[in-house]
Amino acid sequence: MMESLTASLKRGFGHTTFREGQQAALTALEQHQDTLAVLPTGAGKTLIYQLYGYRHAGCVLIVSPLLALMTDQVNRMRVAGFRRVAAITSLTSYAERQVILAHFADYQFLFLSPEMLAQPTMLAQVQQLRLSLLVIDEAHCIVQWGPDFRPEYLLLGAIRERLARPLTLMLTATADSATQHEIAKQLRTTPQIITESIDRPNIFLDVEAVANDAEKRERLLQLVSQLVFPGVVYFSSKQLASDMAQWLQEQTGLPIAAYHAGLSSEDRFKIQQQFMAGELAVICATSAFGMGIDKNDIRYVIHYHLPTDLGSYAQEMGRAGRDGQQSLAVLLSAPGDERLPLTLMEANRPDDTTIQRFYAHPQAFDSDDPGIALLTFYYQHGISLAAVQTLFTRREQERHHALAQMLAYAREPDCLRDRWLTAFGQADSTHTAKCCAPAKVPLDLAALGLKRTVQPAVNPVTLDWRARLETLFLSNN
Amino acid sequence: MTPQDLLQLLSQRQVRRLRVIENLLRGRKTVSTLYWGQRYGLLYLLGLDKALQRGALDQVAQTLVTQRLAAWTQDEQPQLRLTPAGHTQQQATTYYHPQTALTWPRVDLKLVTQRLFLAVQVVSQYAHHNVQYYPLMTDLATQQAVRQWFHQIKSTALAQMVLTALTHSLTQLPELTAMVTTAGLSGYQQPGQTTAQLARTYQESAWEIYLRRVDGVIQIATDARKRDHPLHPLLAPAWQTPVTRSAQATLAAVTTTSLSLDQVAQQRHIKPSTVREHLLEAAIMLPVTAVPYDRLLPQTTRQDLLAALPGALDDWEYMALTPELQARYDFFTFRLLAIWCGKQGEMA
């Protein structure tokens, strides 16, 4: 007989108890039930498929939309002791891909991007594998991102059929019941749904209303100067993240760095590791920063720009306080902040005229343009002009609705938590003073225990280079 | 690159094309870029910033012009010359001059950097008996090369050997360069500093810090050419001849046979113009002894052309030759002569 889940957890991972949701999802999978797990950020979703893969022969195939982060996931699994792990995405070089394919059947965990899996040759290779589990990571992208960015997610239902309907685990941190329904429908399954409250009671929610950009910058400086760290400040542009990191460092004397996709992979590695090691007080980041950061003691997350929807906001601010200690999520909000996400939305979407012209002469367009690439995809999959137009219109409405919800949160006069949870069908009516501070309510850092009392030590002692080399290579024991 | 970094790459005596500097940095090895790169003494820039966008230096250059430190000169391409004020400032600034720059075009910098950094991390973690760590993000080929090297050389003495070797290399460089190179390394409980962070710490531009780091890396790679160096198996393959494989084959065909250039083209199934480009590339990048100048530039040709050309090499223009001379000597011959003359200057 197979050992119990708890015994496997202890033996394979050294933990004695599951976090909420993990055991329920694993139990369902063990009963060969397709499972949709809607668990909050930080709930340990990856452990579910790691443990399943640990207990069962065959390959766990993980489809993930986050290209750059897949390599990181592979590294993390290797650090955790899983050696037979690989990822193939469009970023994987040809040579690398050949090496992986040569050992394809040996892998215990394989990460593939949806577009890679959709390629007929790759799919044929995958069909040869003995799949123990198919994992659809960030499953909400089937609904949320599909029509805009990753149309291949829409093919997953058909792909799953081609793979002879393997046992499937769908993972997401954010899905209301409509989204859950849509995910199940797209993947052509009736999964057992495991949901846990997405609430993070130890994160105090705060919206700070400011009059303009200058005031916003000043308020950010105040907060960063006063708050206990480590903290993360999110920006929607790489340039601003870099500029503000430098400015904040000059103003506060704290060790602060920027992190975004514009940095070299070496720099991203270093910044990430410095942050993990406690050498940095604050990271000024774009949404590129997040996954792969297993840092439990982040005390605050500040958003300098309005996120496009509550789901991504919850993901990002949810990186605070994973240790369960009191933490803070601040949204800085100025009039007109919605203009930026609106502009970004429009930039991502081909307009009606373009769609019509494209359908008249598809060859005449440059598929390097992401909008055109998307249209090409639809065209090649035989989706009609009218259907595409409807799709875009509907998607635009959804995004406007999502942005309106985000704005409603920023403008919420009574309870931010209630506003957030209601949007995900998890209403909460137990507002207290310890819960949140909407725009008109002042933020009391001292009462939260988040006000810094000791001045941080300035500049760490810099070692002479010989001493530094020695500490790198010579162990004291 | 900041305006102050670009200032160091310009000259008051010589007009320099911005596009040549840009293409050198981006690693574009056209004959024209290589020729002018050599004339400017800037070949060491080759491939140092492959991610640089086309036109990325335009604004930087314009800033120098606005500050009256440099001036545009009229030409079909943007060309710059330092003003007297620019020259004074250039001379007054202490700026880093890499010691190993001459060898840079002969090293695959990306390969050597990735392998060195990952090897240092692996050995450092090994020395501290740590097996659970995040490896630096490198491509699979690097990972495999380092893994293979490590398994072959792994011993209790390895860390000390690497430490001794790196110390020996870095001692040959200025203190700050050794400091910057070391601080950028990642290993046990040392995530390593980014170039931008080091620039702030040492009050230099990120580009200057980067030059120091490349200098440090290449010094280590130079020392690792010795067979008894612990990093020899890993770093020696980074040394390459600075001309493309195809150009090497063309040069070999020309030097080892008596075929005419057009016959070589036929034999190699390449265009006659490509044969000439290959030879020019080899002439620029290799020592004067590697190219059969006597055969390609007979004495009479040299005399004929030199008699008609101005004394200053940078003032030579093929189109300024008489139609009669142009008919007799093609551009290839003209350019090869210029390279040969330039090399004479280098040798003198």
| β-pair partners for A451 | A227
Cβ distance A186 to A145 under 8 Å?
no
- For residues A188 and A219, state if they share a domain: no
B278 and B220 fall within a common domain: no
The last residue of a domain, from among B206, B238, B270:
B238
Please indicate, yes or no, if residue A396 is contained in any of the structural domains: no
Check CB contact of B124 with chain A, cutoff 8 Å: yes
Please report the sign of the dihedral spanned by the C-alpha atoms of residue B318, residue B319, residue B320, residue B324. Answer: positive
pLDDT tops 80 at residue A69 = no
* pLDDT, block means (10 residues), chain B with 348 residues: 96 94 95 94 95 93 96 84 96 95 94 97 95 85 92 94 98 97 95 94 95 98 97 96 91 91 93 94 92 92 91 88 91 94 71
Out of A249, A462, A466, name the one closest to residue B167 (CB).
A466
pLDDT (tens digit, 9 = 90+) per residue, A313-351?
Answer: 988 898 999 888 999 999 999 998 988 888 877 776 778
Question: Do the domain assignments include residue B298?
Answer: yes
**Residues A289, A271: contact at Cβ < 8 Å?**
no
Paired tokens of B158: 């390895």
My answer on whether A76 and A148 are in the same domain is yes
pLDDT, residue A32, reads: 96
Does residue A432 lie in a domain region?
no
Q: What percent of chain A has pLDDT over 90?
A: 50
pLDDT at A199 over 90: no
Cα–Cα distance for residue pair A132/A53, rounded to 1 Å: 7
Residues A251-293 pLDDT 10s: 999 999 999 988 988 999 999 999 999 999 999 999 878 755 6
What is residue B252's predicted lDDT score, i.e. its pLDDT?
93
B176 and B223, same domain (yes or no): yes
How far is B95 from A250, CA to CA, in rounded Å?
25
Q: Are residues B185 and B308 in the same domain?
A: no
DSSP A390-458: HHHHHHHHHHHHHHHHHHHHHH-SS-HHHHHHHHTT-------TTTEE-TTSPP-HHHHT-B--SPPPP
> How is the beta sheet containing B79-82 ordered, strand by strand?
B16-17, B79-82, B70-73
- What is the distance, to the nearest Å, from the Cα of residue A61 to the centroid of all Cα atoms in its chain? 19
Q: How would you class B77 by CB atoms within 10 Å of its CB: exposed for 0-12, middle for 13-18, buried for 19 or more? A: exposed
CB contact under 8 A, B127 and A475: yes
Q: Is A129's pLDDT higher than 90? A: yes
Same structural domain, B118 and B207: yes
Contacts of A274 in chain B (CB under 8 A): 191
Residue A472 to chain B, least CA–CA distance (Å): 5
Name A419's Cβ contacts closer than 8 Å, sequence gap at least 6: A408, A409, A412
A210 and A72 in a single domain? The answer is no
Question: Does B132 share its domain with B44?
Answer: no
Among A333, A354, A384, the domain boundary falls at A333
Same domain flag for B118 and B217: yes
Please check whether residue B32 lies inside any domain of the structure.
yes
Tell me the C-alpha distance between B76 and B87, whole Å.
24
Q: How far apart are CA B301 and CA B306, in angstroms?
A: 8
Minimum Cα–Cα distance from A69: chain B residue: B137
Contacts of A81 in chain B (CB under 8 A): 132
One domain for residues B275 and B343: yes
CA A211 to chain centre: 30
* Inside any domain, residue B232: yes
Is B123 an interface residue toward A (CB < 8 Å)?
A: yes
The per-residue pLDDT for B44 is: 96
Q: Which of B95, B117, B138 is the last residue of a domain?
A: B95
Helix (H, G, I), strand (E, B) or coil at A279: coil
β partners of residue A337:
none
CATH number at residue B33: 1.10.10
Q: Are residues A188 and A43 in the same domain?
A: yes
- My answer on whether A35 and A156 are in the same domain is yes
H-type alpha helices, A253-369: 265-276, 310-317, 339-347, 352-360
Q: Are residues B89 and B110 in the same domain?
A: no
Answer whether B279's CB lies under 8 Å from B251's CB.
Answer: yes
Q: Is A232 in a helix, a strand, or coil?
A: strand
pLDDT of residue A461: 57
B274 within some domain? yes
Higher pLDDT, A196 or A428: A196
Close Cβ partners of B170 (under 8 Å, ≥ 6 residues apart): A465, A469, B177, B178, B181, B182, B216, B219, B220
User: What is the domain extent for residue B311?
Assistant: 245-347
> Do the chains contact at B191 and A279, CB–CB below 8 Å?
yes
Report the distance separating Cα B205 and Cα B185, nearest Å.
Answer: 19
Q: For residue B249, what pLDDT is reported?
A: 94
Q: Considering only the C-alpha atoms of chain A, give the largest distance between any 2 of them, rounded to a whole number of Å.
A: 73
The DSSP 8-state label assigned to residue A464 in this structure reads P
Nearest to B193 among A76, A270, A272 (CB): A270
The CATH number linked to A96 is 3.40.50.300
What single letter denotes the amino acid at residue A237? S
Contacts of B136 in chain A (CB under 8 A): 266, 269
Number of domains into which chain A is organized:
2
Tell me whether residue A212 is in a domain.
Answer: yes
Give domain status of residue A31, yes or no: yes
Same domain, B60 and B110: no
Asked whether residue B63 is assigned to any structural domain, the reply reads: yes
Residue B277 belongs to a domain: yes
Residue that wins the pLDDT comparison between A369 and A447: A447
For residue A230, say if its preceding peptide bond is cis, omega within 30 degrees of 0. yes
Same domain? For B320 and B222 the reply is no
Measure CB to CB from residue A271 to each of B139, B188, B194 and give the nearest one.
B194
pLDDT tier, A404 (very low <50, low <70, confident <90, very high otherwise): very high
Would you say residue A307 lies in a domain? Answer: yes
∠ CA A136-A141-A143, rounded to 5°? 115
Question: Quick one: average pLDDT of A45-68?
Answer: 90
Same domain, residue pair B75 and B156: no
The SS3 of residue B187 is strand
CA B92 to chain centre: 26
In a domain, A349, yes or no: no
Q: Compute the distance between CA of residue A116 and CA of residue A156 in angstroms, rounded to an integer.
A: 11
Contact B137 A274 (CB under 8 A): no
pLDDT exceeds cutoff 80 at A477: no
**A239 and A160 fall within a common domain:** no
pLDDT above 80 (res A40):
no
B135 touches chain A (CB under 8 A): yes
| Final residue in a domain of this structure, among B238, B254, B287 | B238
Comparing CB atoms, the residue among B120, B134, B139 nearest residue A472 is B120
Examine the domain organization and report whether A12 and A144 are in the same domain: yes
Q: Is the pLDDT of residue A469 over 50?
A: yes
Chain mean position to CA A119: 25
Does residue B66 lie in a domain region?
Answer: yes
List B residues 200-259 in contact with A (Cβ-Cβ < 8 A): 200-201
In order, the DSSP letters of B282-337 are HHHHS-GGGS-HHHHS-HHHHHHHHHHS-SSGGG--GGGS-HHHHHHS-HHHHHHH
Say whether both A207 and A188 belong to one domain: no
Task: Test B187 with A269 for CB contact under 8 angstroms.
Answer: no
Looking at per-residue confidence, does A108 or B133 come out higher? A108
Do A209 and A99 reside in the same domain of the chain? no
Asked if the Cβ–Cβ distance from B160 to A474 is below 8 Å, we say: yes
Count the domains in chain B: 3
Indicate whether A188 and A255 sit together in one domain: no
Is A75 in CB contact (< 8 Å) with chain B?
yes
Task: Label residue A149 by pLDDT band (50, 70, 90).
Answer: low
If asked whether residues A83 and A121 sit together in one domain, one would say yes
Selecting from B144, B162, B191 the residue whose C-beta is nearest the C-beta of A473 gives B162
Residue B143, chain A, CB below 8 Å: the answer is no
pLDDT for position A456: 65
**Minimal Cβ distance to B124: which of A249, A462, A473:** A473
In a mutational test of the B interface, the residue from A246, A283, A473, A474 whose CB has the highest number of chain B CBs within 10 Å is A473
A98 part of contact set with chain B, CB < 8 Å = no
Domain of residue A78 covers: 5-195
Both B110 and B205 in one domain: the answer is yes
Q: Could you give the CA distance from residue A191 to residue B221 in angstroms, rounded to a whole number?
A: 57
Measured in Å, how far apart are chain B's first and last C-alpha atoms?
A: 33
* Residue pairs between chains A and B whose CB atoms are closer than 8 Å: 101
Let me know how long chain B is: 348
At A351 the three-state DSSP class reads: coil
Confidence of residue A147 (pLDDT cuts 50, 70, 90): very low
Evaluate whether residue A465 is within a structural domain.
no
**B100 belongs to a structural domain:** no
Q: Is residue A132 part of a domain?
A: yes
Residues of A in contact with B185 (CB under 8 A): 472
* Chain B nearest C-alpha distance from A206 (Å): 32
Question: What percentage of chain A carries pLDDT values higher than 70?
Answer: 94
The answer, for A261 touching chain B at a CB cutoff of 8 Å, is no
Are A39 and A179 part of one and the same domain?
Answer: yes
Over its C-alpha atoms, chain A yields an Rg (Å, rounded) of 23
Q: Which among A75, A76, A472 is the nearest to B190, CB-wise? A: A472
Q: Which pLDDT score, from 0 to 100, does residue B291 have?
A: 92
**Which of A147, A165, A195 represents a domain boundary (last residue)?**
A195
**End position of a domain, from candidates A315, A333, A351:** A333
Distance CA B70, CA B86 (A): 6
User: Do residue A273 and residue B139 have CB atoms under 8 angstroms apart?
Assistant: no
